[in-house]
Structure 1
Amino acid sequence: MPRRSDAVVRRGLRHVGRAIAEQPGIFALALLGSSLYGGMTVASAYVIGGVTDRVILPAFDEGATTAAALTLAAVVILAVAVLKIVGILGRRLFAGIMSFRLQADYRRRVTGQYLRLPLSWHQRHPTGQLLSNANSDVESAWFFVSPLPFACGAVVMIGMTVVALLLTDPLLAVVGFVVFPLVFVLNAVYSRAMSPRMARAQQLRAEVSEIAHESFDAALVVKTLGREADETARFAARATELRDGLVAVGRLRGLFDPLMEALPSLGTLAVLLVGAERVVAGTTAAGELVSIAYLFTLLALPIRAIGWVLADLPRALAGFDRVTPVLEATGRTAHGPDPAPGGQRGAALGLRDVGFGYDGAARSILQGVTFEVAAGRTLAVVGPTGAGKSTLAGLLVRLVDPRTGEVLLDGVDLRRLREGEVSSEVAFVAQSTFLFDDTVRDNVTLGAPYDDEQVHAALRIAAAEDFVARLPAGLDTRVGERGASLSGGQRQRLALARAVVRRPRLLVLDDATSAVDPAVEARILDALRAADRPVTVVVVAYRQATIALADEVVWLADGRLVDRGSHAELLARVPGYAQLVRAYQPPEPDAPDRQPAEARA
C-alpha cells in the first residue's frame, strides 16, 4: 500500500508538470500573481509587527502619537493591501484561463480522435462512455489547475516565511514548522485513501451517462415495448451506486477538510503559547510575536490551497486515466491515391463478392454479396430483420470496409479513393434522423457555404419547401433539440435535403422515408430522377409503396443475396419476399365489406 501511495503521488506530480508544460506562459503569469500575493502577505505580517512596535506600543507608553506616524503606517498598510489585491486578481484570472484552456484543448483532442478513429472503434465503445470521456473526464483531469498557481505561490510564500521566521526567532520558527510536515503526511494518507474512491466514482459517472443516453436515444422503442419500468430500475440502480460512491468520497473529504483547516490554527496556538512565555522572559519582542502569530494566521489559506491541489489529484488522475486510452487509440480509415471519377450523371455502383463481420461477432453479417446498379437507377434493398441491410448501406458509403471483396464507384474501389472523395460523391441518410438545435438553414448546410437558392432547391427535391415556408421564420426557424418542434416526416425530409444539397452522385437511404407519406415519397424519388444531375439511389425499404418505386429490387436473407429482379417478379417467385412486403400492407376488406351498402341490405 505504501508503494501504491507513492505511485499516486509520483503520478500526481507528473500530471502537475504536464499541466505546466501545456500552458507555460499562462502559468508563469498566474505564478507571478500568486508570488506577489505571497510576498505581500509576508510583508503585511511584518508591517503589522512594525506598526505595533513603532506606533501602537509607543502610543500606549506615551499616551499620544503623531499624525506623521499614523499617516506613514496607513500608507504602508494600504500599499501592501493594493499589491496583494493585484496579486490576487492576476492569480485568479490567469489560473482560470489556464484551466479552461486545458479543458478546451483536451476536448478538441478527444473529439478530434473520435472523428479520426474508424467506425469499428466506435462500435466497441458505448456512446455514453464517449460522452463522459469528452466532458466530465476532461473536466476532472484538469480541475486541480485552478488552485495550482495559488499552491505554487504558497510554496514560495512558505519559503519566504521560513527564512523570515528563522531570522526573527528560530525557536518560534521550529515550533510553527511542525505544521508543515503534518500537512504533507495528512495529504499522503488522504491521496492513498481517495484514489480508488475517485476512480470508482468516475467510472460510475460514465455508466450512468451511458444508460441515460441509451434510454433517451431509444425512447420510442422503450415506450413501444412498455419497458419504462425496467429502464427506470436499471438507471436507478446505477445512479444509487454513483450516489453511494460520491457519498463515500464526501465523507472522506469531510474528514480531511476540517483537519487541514485546523492544522494552521494549531500552529498559531503553539506559537502564541511559547511566544508569550518568551515575551515575558524578554527574549522576544511583542512586535515580533505579533508578526509571527499573524503570519501563521495568514498561512492558513495558502496551506489550504496546497491541500486543494493534493485533494483533487486523485480525481484528476482518475479522469486522465479514462481520457488517455482515447488519445492513444490507434487505427484510422486508410485512403488511396485516386481521385473520384466525377461526372454529371449518377454513379455506377458495383459490389463484388463482398463479405463483412463485426469484431467479435460469431458469424459474418454479409457473405458473397455481388450486384451492380447502373448510373441513375433506383435499387431497393429488402430483407428480414438481421439480414444485413443497414450494414450493406454502411459499406456503400464507406462507414466500414468489407473484409472480403470490393465496393466499386464507377469501377473504382472505394478504398483507393483519396480522403474526402467518397463524401464528395456519396451521401447517406440514416433511419434515425439527427437535427441540431439550430435553424433550418444551418441544419441543411451544416455550415458549408451553400446559398439560400441552393438550400431551397434541396428542400424542393426533398418535398420540404412547403412546410418550411409555413414555419414562423422560414429558413431561420430554430427546430429545437433533435428537431423536437417538427414531426418525424418533417425531420426525415430535412435530413434528406441535407444530403441532396451536396449534389451527390450516389444517394443511400437506410429506410430514411419511413415516416413520410407514400405520395410524398413518390414525389421525392421522382424529383431525384428529374434533377439536372440525376442521382443513383439505393434505398433500404420495407413498405411496398416504397419498393414499387424502385427500378430493381435486391432480396437479402441471412447475409446473402438470394434473388434480384423487379418488384412484381420477386412477389411471384420468392415466398419470403411476398410475405415480408405484404406484412406491411393494411389488410384488404373482406368481400362483403366491399359491396355497396344497398346490396348488403
Structure 2
Amino acid sequence: MREAAYFGAATSFIWSCAPFLVSLVTFAVYVLVDEKNVLDAKTAFVSLSLFNLLRFPLSMLPMMISNLVQVGVSVKRVNKFMNSEELDPDAVTHNSNEKDPIVIENGSFTWDKEETTLKNINLRIKPKSLVAVVGVVGSGKSSLVSALMGEMEKISGRVNVNGEVAYVPQTAWIQNNTLQDNILFGKTMHRKNYLQVVEACALKQDFDMLPGGDQTEIGEKGINLSGGQKQRVSLARAVYCDADIYYLDDPLSAVDSHVGKHIFDNVIGPKGLLHNKTRVFITHGITHLHEVDLIITLKDGEVSEMGTYQELLDNKGAFAEFLSQHLQEVGKEELEELDEEVKKQLLEVSPEKLSRQLSTASDRSNSISSKHNGGSQKSLDDLIKKSNKAKDKLIEEERAETGGVKLDVYKHYLGAIGPSSSLPLSC
C-alpha cells in the first residue's frame, strides 16, 4: 500500500514536470549542439507553441494503446464465440417408440474438443422411477444432466428422451417479479394445485414472514431472498409446470436438513407430488439414497456402478467408497436424519468413521417435517394474498420524458442552487 502511494506520487510529479523538462532538454540540446544556434524569442515562442499542440495527443497515446489492446482481446473473444460450431439439434432424439423415457447408449460428451468429459455412458431409466446420481465433486454429475438436455457436444452414441422436461439447476434463476408469478411462470393459475405445490416445497412459512405473502415482489436476481428460498421457488416452479421428466440438480444443497427432508418426502420421494414422474436426482447427500429406485455412481466421467442401494452396498465398490468419503464430511444433522437400518448398513461399510460421527448425534423420535404440515395459526389459503390487492413495488419502472426540456426543470434547478447563484445566471 505504501509502495503504491509512493509510486503514484512519483508518477504524478513526473507527469506535472514533463512539459517543463521537455522544453528544458530541447532548448539545451538546441543550444549546445551548434554554436550558431541562438535561442531567441521567435524560436522559443514557436517551439513552446508546438510543444503545447503536441501535449494533448501525446497524453492520449498511452490510453489509446491500452484501449486498442482491450479491443483486440474483445474482438478475439467475440470472433471465437460467433464462429463456434452450433450444437447439433438432433443430439437428443425424441423417438416415441422407445419404451423408456431416458436412454443413453455408448454416449461420450464434451464441453470442448480437447478433453472428453463423459465417456461410455450407458443407461436406461424406466418410467416413473427415481434415479439418484452420486459421485465426488467433478465426477460429471451436472454434465450428465446437460448431456440429457443437449447442451453438450455429443462425440458418439445415442440419446433419446421422451416427454416434457423440467429442470431445476444448482443456481436458481429468479425473475424480478412477484413470488406467485415466479412460480406460475406464465402458466394458468389453478389454486388447488398452487397451494399444494407451495405447501410441499416448504414455502408456507416464508409467505407468512414476507409482508405481501406470495404477492411480495422479488428484486433483481432474487436479491431479497435467501439461497434456500430461491432454490425452493425454483423447485416450486418446476413442480407446478407438471412435466413428464424432472432433472433435479442438487436441489436440497441450499436448504437446511429438516427442510430438505420435508421437500424430499413431499415432492421428490416415493410419496411426493412427483411420485408418478421420471426423476433424475443429483445429490451430494446420503440421507435419502435408500429410498430411490436406482443409484448411478459416476467416477471420472464414467458410470462406475449402477444398481439399487442394497446392491451397491453389497458390491463394496465405488459407491461404498463414496459413502466412506462422505462420512468424513457429513454433519450431525444429516446423520440424525438417517434411519436405524441405514445406519447399520453404513456401519458395515465404514464402521470406524460412522461410529465416530454417531457418537455426537442422537436419534430424533419425531418427524421434523411435521413442523411444516401443521400448527400454524394461519391457513395457507389466508397467507396467499389476493391478486387484486394493492402491493408495494420494490423496483419502480423508469419513465423517460420526451420532447424539449420543460420550464419546471429550469425552475427546480434555479431553486436548488439558491437565489444568490441563480440571479447572475438569469441575467
TM-score, structure 1 normalization: 0.40
* Whole-Å separation in 1 of the counterparts to 2:358 and 2:66: 71
Conserved in 2, the CA contact under 8 Å of 1:529 and 1:535?
Answer: no
- Aligned equivalents of 1:457 and 1:592: distance in 2? 39
Per-residue CA deviations over 1:363-384 (Å, capped at 9, x if unaligned) read: 4322211111100000011112
SS for the counterpart of 1:544 is: coil
Counterparts of residues 198-213 of structure 1 (less than 5 Å) = 198-200=67-69, 203=70
- SS of the residue corresponding to residue 399 of structure 1 reads coil
Q: Say whether residues 1:579 and 2:324 are aligned partners.
A: yes
Indicate the structure (1 or 2) with the bigger Cα radius of gyration. 1
The equivalent residue for 2:284 is: 542
CA distance 1:580–1:537, change in 2 (3 Å): farther
Rounded Cα–Cα distance in structure 2 between residues aligned with 1:323 and 1:442: 36
Q: Residues 290 and 309 of structure 2 are in contact (CA less than 8 Å); yes or no, is this contact kept in structure 1?
A: yes
* More strand per residue: 2
Match in the other structure for 2:217:
478
Q: Tell me what 2:424 maps to.
A: none
Are the equivalent residues in 2 in contact too, given 1:436–1:443 (CA < 8 A)?
yes
**What does residue 306 of structure 2 align with?**
564
SS in 1 for 2:67: helix
Contact 1:431 1:511 in 2 (8 A): yes
Contact 2:289 2:295 in 1 (8 A): yes
Paired residues in the alignment total 282
Whole-Å separation in 1 of the counterparts to 2:252 and 2:358: 32
Structure 1 pair 582–478 and aligned structure 2 pair: CA distance change class (3 A)? same
How do residues 64-463 of structure 1 correspond to structure 2 at under 5 angstroms? 195-200=64-69, 203=70, 321=75, 325=79, 328-336=82-90, 340=94, 348-359=101-112, 361=114, 363-410=115-162, 425-446=164-185, 448-451=186-189, 453=191, 455-463=194-202
Q: Where in structure 2 are there 5+ consecutive unaligned residues?
A: 1-52, 336-353, 363-427
Q: Measured at CA, do residues 491 and 546 of structure 1 come closer, stay the same or move farther in structure 2, by a change above 3 Å?
A: farther
Deviation digits for residues 250-306 of structure 1 (CA, Å, limit 9, x no counterpart): xxxxxxxxxxxxxxxxxxxxxxxxxxxxxxxxxxxxxxxxxxxxxxxxxxxxxxxxx
Residues 269 and 291 in structure 2, CA contact (< 8 A), matched pair in contact too? no
Q: Deviations over 1:344-387 (max 9, x none)?
A: xx9721111111233254x4322211111100000011112222
Q: Write the deviation string for residues 304-363 of structure 1: whole angstroms up to 9, x where unpaired.
A: xxxxxxxxxxxxx779847863784443333249995689xx9721111111233254x4
Inter-partner Cα distance in structure 2 for 1:437 and 1:383? 35
1:360 and 1:494 mapped to 2: Cα distance?
A: 36
CA distance in 1, matches of 2:360, 2:54: 89
Hey, what's the Cα distance between the residues in 2 that align with 1:593 and 1:335? Answer: 53
Distance across 2 between alignment mates of 1:501 and 1:592 = 41
Query: What is the rounded CA distance, in whole Å, between the counterparts of 1:532 and 1:432 in structure 2?
Result: 21
Aligned-residue offset at 1:540: 1.1
Structure having greater relative contact order (Cα 8 Å, sep ≥ 6): 2
> Aligned partners of 1:463, 1:324: CA distance in 2, in Å?
43
- Contact 1:195/1:318 (<8 A) preserved: no
Q: Secondary structure at the match of 2:150?
A: coil
Taking a change above 3 Å as real, the CA distance of residues 529 and 352 of structure 1, as seen in their structure-2 partners, is farther
Q: Tell me: CA distance 1:197–1:385, structure 2 relative to 1, closer, same or farther (3 Å).
A: closer
Measure how far apart 1:590 and its partner are. Answer: 8.7
CA distance in 2, matches of 1:321, 1:554: 43
Change (3 A) 1:328 1:484: closer
**C-alpha distance after superposition, 1:425-473 (max 9, x if no partner):** 1122122223344321233244x24326364454344333453354221
User: Secondary structure in 1 aligned to 2:104?
Assistant: strand
Give the 3-state SS of the residue equivalent to 1:451 in structure 2: coil
d(CA) in 1 for partners of 2:359 and 2:79?
A: 68
**How large is the RMSD of aligned CA atoms in angstroms?**
4.1
Report how far residue 481 of structure 1 moved: 4.2
Q: Which residue of 1 aligns with 2:297?
A: 555
Whole-Å separation in 2 of the counterparts to 1:508 and 1:538: 5
1:9 is matched with which residue? none
- CA deviation after TM superposition for structure 1 residue 190, in Å: 8.6
Distance 2:92 2:215 in 1: 39
Deviations for 1:569-599, whole angstroms, at most 9, x for unmatched residues?
212322314314534354557999899xxxx
Local SS of the residue matching 2:158: strand
With over 3 angstroms needed to count, the CA separation of the structure-2 counterparts of 1:527 and 1:591, relative to structure 1, is closer
Give the partner amino acid of 1:325.
N
- Contact 2:239–2:274 at 8 Å: present in 1 too? no
CA gap of 1:525–1:193, structure 2 versus 1, over 3 A, is: closer
TM-superposed CA distance for 1:388, in Å, is: 1.3
